A and B are shown apart, each in its own frame.
Chain A
């Protein structure tokens, strides 16, 4: 991808100013009141004009416009005008949608770094430690309109570590790309080996329960030492329990790889017992116990709609049944298993089974952001949110539609014309 040729010339707005709350408020005020006058400093403003804006936060705006500046969305509606010096992108007849969010992926790392197979429970692992800022995965993601991703360890262990929520663009400095460093603790149900404990789902449940109890004891010992006035040496630190303690204290949450309804209910029981926040991933049979999930506010991130996976018509309708039962759902591509370019098609297929178009879009944008706990920044086209959006040459959900432009933090990061295809 030839970013260098597609980006507009570098503007003279210092980075710090772009993100300062004061500067942001000022921009917001000017754009809301009137177009920025001719005296305005050279800026990095981009106006997307004339498209159908699917905001994921309300009804679509026909013939609408979105103004981006300082990396953020500063105006949106049907009467937004371009400030002087703004780059204008004509989106007439096109669909504009929020940058897609893949809530569950394993990108940006070597496939050999996804699973620490000898480990059964390894909450101390952090996916951040294997992320390669220069991986080709990021370009692929951007070319498909995916601008935010929850990327994390695989499912080769029953607990495989902490995921990270980050932008798919932005260069070498990962700290600038990360939205949430403690992006969720990956659990994976089902035995991972035939040769060592646990080899059954019972065994998996028991070993998870045992580990959670040990974590409770670890926290209790910590608390006792503090209650006793921090006398003597503190209890020995254990990275594993310390990481799992983040789950029990709800500073992060459980992201559980699960297919069968039986394993879903095991997780529900563990949640009830230990009081952690739970989200389901892949969630093939979650629809069978939808009321149990709705009752507890458990969200489901669903995989099986990948067009490559043949599953029963019942399970294909699963997302619809979950949605109808009031469960918040997102779709995921499990990239690199399914190329993230087709994340949108996972939502399209859910639409086929009865989910309305705008709700389907939320499953790869707003819902995905809310489940990932980053909805204050991304997931919908609203003033104040990050300037991440995608422009399609046709309906976003149709297989034949192509991504024309992707904007990330308010700048063009993919331009199909410049790609030459």
Chain B
């Protein structure tokens, strides 16, 4: 579980807070909406509570100012008529690579690169964005109602680097960062073995994968000790990143699908005392008791295509027979379970079910044992909690970021379209 992790304000806001500076006008207007917005008359799904028919949501100063059935309309507000529509919090995609080009996904020259930051490969422009200069708009994600996502290096490395939580729209590349670094990203199982074998080097087996990670984490422990004893010790970017992991400032996310890989992930987390999130988790049911007891959350891949690996048809020894009930069963076992896209290079044949399809895909789980409420929670509040950003996003609650999606039908129907997306109170997408 995540222990007392706090999100950091975006760098500019941070500077303004600490130095008492006024933010440049462009950033101020982008981060704080000028005029209140009132979304009125729709079926409001706050996620944190029951549906509110004919409900109202008030957005002010980039935050949610009110949610309810009888909420007064502030003077001078822009009123949005949502009659016949559904209003829900922005969708949170707990695992994505969208915005990172195919050649920037994996630093395959070295199986362990803790110093790398995914944000520095993040290039959500061109087809990912509006395709023109101006504020950043990841239309691909926004069109599916996704307003927050975790981006990370892909899985060819044993330890790929540091992931980030970003919004899908903002004034610029820095303005979208919610939390960075947000986790250390690791992978166990077939993908690192395959990548290493192609270069004729370790790890060639699962044993080597775990031994190499263990050796690296031991080094990080030693670095931590030496640094405490000698503050002038030469800096090492990778070791500094792992220090954050070992001090539980950020969690470790380990992509592990086969039960044996999940077991290794649990063992490493216990041995080195870091907070663990299991990504992929196809074999999680076999490990459910330990996952539940240790309160380890699981981020599952798409229900329709649960193979989160980079291979088009992945190694079957990593994946037990596909079970669409997995999300329901894990949730029922008390395991915090999110459904994510793990989407990769845009427009390629690699797994790239982008945020655009997350609601539709997750809707399948509603036929396999989950209630609609549970499904919606698995793509909003639960991923927000797993990412450590639930104080800002994931539900329609007063004080949270004004990230609101308006849909023209029930959120899990294939006929439904996202009509408007408000992010930090600003209209950033309209169909």
Contact = CB atoms under 8 A, between A and B. Distances in A.
Nearest to B141: A310
Nearest to B302: A308
Contacts of B343: 310
A402 B369 CA distance: 11
B325 to A, nearest CB: 7
A308 B325 contact: no
A307 B365 CA distance: 15
Contacts of A339: 304-305, 322
Contacts of A421: 325, 368
Contact of B347 (A311, A349, A352): A311
B66 interface: no
Nearest to B321: A136
Contacts of A93: none
Contacts of B357: 307-308
B414 A349 contact: yes
A253 interface: no
Interface in B248-304: 302, 304
A288 to B, nearest CB: 15
B267 to A, nearest CB: 32
Contacts of A393: 367
Contact of B414 (A310, A337, A341, A348): A348
Interface string B317-334: 000001001000000000
Contacts of A131: none
A310 B304 contact: no
A338 B414 contact: no
B71 to A, nearest CB: 31
Interface in A332-349: 336-339, 341-342, 345, 348-349
B354 A310 contact: yes
B385 interface: no
Contact of B140 (A306, A310, A397): A310
Interface bracket on B = 20 to 34
B325 A307 contact: no
B366 interface: yes
Interface string A363-378: 0000000000000000
Contacts of B352: 308-310
Mostly helix, strand, loop or mixed at chain A's interface? loop
A293 to B, nearest CB: 23
B313 A398 contact: no
A345 B351 contact: no
Nearest to B342: A308
Contacts of A401: 367
Interface string B217-238: 0000000000000000000000
B86 interface: no
B372 to A, nearest CB: 8
Most buried by B among A310, A312, A400, A401: A310
A398 B347 contact: no
B367 A307 contact: no
Contacts of B415: 351-352, 397
Interface of B: 98, 127, 140, 143, 302, 304-305, 312-313, 322, 325, 343, 346-347, 349, 351-354, 356-357, 360-361, 363-368, 412-415, 417
22 contacts: A111-B313, A306-B305, A307-B304, A308-B305, A308-B357, A310-B140, A310-B352, A337-B313, A339-B304, A351-B415, A352-B415, A393-B367, A397-B415, A398-B413, A398-B414, A399-B361, A399-B366, A400-B366, A400-B367, A402-B368, A421-B325, A421-B368
